[in-house]
Amino acid sequence: MSSPVSRRYDAARASASSRPSSKPSSSVSVSSWPLVDYEQGSVGTTWTMSFKAMEARNENASNLMRLWAFVDNKDLWHGLLQAAVDGGEQWPGWLCNMACNEVRFLEAARLLLRYSMIEA
């Protein structure tokens, strides 16, 4: 037996897939599908727009964000990048540049923080 929350989510998903626009239909309230869809568009759309704006300002920040997706997001600091690059293996140029210059790392991290992509 499914829970009331999962039934409501399934109903909202079914309704969303059958409607032509991204706006909620009158039968499904915005509050019944939190953080998935809202009147102006999806959370994914908002995140993508923020990411692209951030990437346009500083490509190192977007690359750092992509890297962060694969490591412990609570424990990434400049010294970790330095240690990786000092290991003598082949690394992308942007990573080597950021590892060799702490200011670049801090600028990228500051921009990620400003766009609320990370928390301090």
**CA–CA separation, 89 vs 47, rounded Å?**
33
Note whether 67 and 17 are same-domain residues: no
CB 83 within 8 A of CB 117: no
Range of the domain at 12: 4-39
Quickly state the pLDDT bin for 119 (edges 50, 70, 90): confident
Residue 119 counted as domain residue = no
Note whether 76 and 105 are same-domain residues: yes
**CA–CA separation, 86 vs 49, rounded Å?**
35
Note whether 108 and 61 are same-domain residues: yes
Residue 25 counted as domain residue = yes
Note whether 76 and 59 are same-domain residues: yes
Residue 72 counted as domain residue = yes
**CA–CA separation, 60 vs 50, rounded Å?**
15
Please report the pLDDT score of residue 113 as a whole number: 94
Please report the pLDDT score of residue 43 as a whole number: 81
Q: How many folded domains does the chain comprise?
A: 2
- Determine the Cα angle at 25 with ends 22 and 26, to 5°: 155
